[in-house]
Chains A and B, each alone.
Chain A
Amino acid sequence: MSETLSLEAQPVGAQSRAPALAHHIVVVDDDTGVRTLLTRILREYGYEVSAARDGAELRSIMAMGRIDLILLDIMLPGDNGIDLCRSIRERSRVPIIMISARGQESDRVAGLDVGADDYIAKPFGRSEVLARVRAVLRRMRDPHAPLDAPVPECFEFASWKYHARRRELIAPSGAEVDLTAAEQDLLLALLRHPQRMIGRERLLELSRSRVGSSTDRSIDVLVSRLRRKLGDGRKIRPLIRTVRGVGYMLAADVVVS
């Protein structure tokens, strides 16, 4: 039954979306249904997909050849996703997206701490998983943010602190400031290029890397939201400066540690 469904549901023009050389994605999930469905959906969008039930199967797939991305469920029999992620990171920088149950904040932080590149909360839909997969793969290709370079842990600017792994922004008062995913990416893009003007197109591209289609707000809206949270709104010399008609610039020295 599932075969026919797959044939019927083949998206029109799926072939055209496939990149010249298909990315190889490994889906690690112990639930057969989820695993096969994810595999099928990703294949329909032109990726080369392998499925693994647990850590042992993942290791044998990894031994066989090149992998571009791992979708890794945290709740696995045997070694859990966190342990697997940690052991993979000891050898490889292959991008990893963790799949966690919704509301398990500790899992999310733990996953990011052991080096996962992104996470997605169960239950998720097709568009969410595709957006995240595309974003992570794009970042991998992005020459401005090479993945094999170590990701800086912490940025300090104008008494603010941004903990990139945990995605925590700490105000000068020591208070944690909550950011949306798009705001986090925007801030990270600005922090990576301090004192330099970034064009709006480029900034929007960088800021949408993770959220994909879930926000279609203009970059001006995103910047004004971030300014408001940085307490930047009414300042004469704001941290994020507008370069009229062109783009934005972070007017602060950034210390990376």
Chain B
Amino acid sequence: MRVRLPGAMVGRILLVLICAVGLELLGNLALERWQQRELLSDQEIGQVAMKLTEAEAVALANHRRHRGERLQLMSQDNLSLNWVPRTVITDFGGSFEQLQELRRRIVRSAPALSSRELRLTLMPSAERGERDLVGALGIADGSFITFRLTPYLGAPPDPRLVIFLHLLLVAAVLAVALAMVRTLVRPLSNLAEAADRTSGGRASPIAIEGPAEVRRVATAFTAMQDRLFRAMDDQTQALIAVSHDLRTPIQRLRLRAALLRDEEARAAMSADLAEMESFIDATLSYFRDGEEEAARLIDVAALVVTLVDTAADLGDDIAYRGPDQLLVTARPVGIKRILTNLIDNARRHARRIEMTLGADGADYVIDVDDDGPGIAPERRAEALLPFRQLDAARAGGGAGIGLAAANKAVMAMGGSLLLRDGPLGGLGVRLTLPRQGPPSGGP
């Protein structure tokens, strides 16, 4: 059964405090006990009590002159007995609680002794540090049976050990308290981690747990996350819908343009429409995550060559350098989309394009280099953000989402995109992708 914890944070903190104080108290008591530990079991005390009863009977049965001898004969290894007419032993039971307790235990074992005078005291024993129990039992005729129990109490522990044990106790209590406090605040740190994980349009589920205050925060946080993602999703959907819907009027314009008699105007219009289409394609591919396509074994060299040949057939100055064959596990449509974006982008800013393919350990590398104006190093990070218009030199190409879309898609495939100075003097885009394919599960 689960223990019901107090709901509120204050209650839980109080619980931790009580536990810590209680533990410290119990620990102290135990340490105190341990320092004055008796070396006798109940059974041995019973034997002592029986021996004393026996000794009393023996003493009374014998003449005073022989009593000492007879009792000494009854001595055992740890208990010595004697008889004396009078004794100097005084009782310390009054000032030493442990002796009083012992007396009660002896009497409990041998009720016959309850009416007798029983003086108990402690004496240092021959063994270093230990202490013996010395006692005198008054018998019926006013004389005494004396006895000595060796040893009775263990040596008092080294004070340094005692201090060390106290410190250990404090440390243990602190550790327990710390563990409890950690458990107490874990829901909070979980919440913080969930907040950290929430990024890139990906919600991280948040467990509603812990004390009432934290549960309240977690609920509010989840609701906020939901609202944010819904708003983001709405905007994305709107953008996707607009892009999709633009295709139909573009389709109409394309066909209408074909009806124009003015050759020049027709060519210009076709070029404009082609550019619009490429923006729409780039925008749509930015929002598509490519998850719907399964990664499979493909010849990426054939794929790149196909794109290069197709672009060359359409009149681009584009060349391929690389092997005839390179087998990788990848999502072919996704890779095609990325490379088409990059080629479109290069075509817009440059005249000559070169695509290079190579294997590099567990990765394969595709370079798309052009001879255009390039992008200054300090602006490259910005160029990978969607809908950023860079400087005038590269302004020939609209919203500039192509690089952002390519970057996002490459990252979703477990690879990376690097902008650099290309060997042709323009921009060089280097894609590095794992040959074993995108990581399974999330991108």
- A: residues with CB less than 8 A from B are 5-6, 8-9, 31, 33-34, 37-38, 40-41, 101-103, 105-106, 122-127, 171, 173-180, 183, 214-217, 225, 228-229, 231, 233
Contacts and interface: CB of A to CB of B under 8 A. Distances in A.
Contact of B255 (A125, A225, A229): A125
Interface in B176-197: none
B244 interface: yes
Contact of B281 (A34, A102, A216): A102
A40 B296 CA distance: 44
Contacts of B303: 178
Contacts, number: 109
B273 interface: yes
A5 B248 contact: no
**Interface of chain B, helix or strand or loop or mixed?**
helix
Contact of A177 (B261, B302, B336): B302
B270 interface: yes
A128 to B, nearest CB: 9
B299 A176 contact: yes
A231 B325 contact: yes
18 contacts: A5-B256, A8-B259, A9-B260, A31-B252, A41-B255, A41-B258, A102-B281, A103-B284, A125-B254, A125-B258, A125-B270, A175-B298, A175-B299, A176-B298, A176-B332, A180-B309, A225-B305, A228-B324
Nearest to B325: A231
A6 B313 CA distance: 32
Contacts of A6: 259
B36 interface: no
B259 A179 contact: no
Given A37-B252, A175-B298, 11 more contacts: A6-B259, A34-B255, A37-B256, A106-B292, A124-B254, A125-B258, A171-B299, A176-B297, A176-B332, A214-B314, A229-B305
Given A106-B292, A123-B251, A179-B302, A229 B324 contact: yes
A9 B250 CA distance: 19
Interface in B222-277: 244, 247-252, 254-261, 270, 273, 277
Contacts of B284: 103
A41 B327 contact: no
B285 interface: yes
Nearest to B307: A178
A102 B257 CA distance: 20
A37 B306 contact: no
A231 B323 CA distance: 10
B114 interface: no
Nearest to B297: A175
Contacts of A176: 296-299, 332
Nearest to A6: B259
B310 interface: yes
A102 to B, nearest CB: 7
B305 A103 contact: no
Contacts of B288: 103
Contact of B305 (A41, A174, A228): A228
B302 A34 contact: no
B26 interface: no
B255 A38 contact: yes
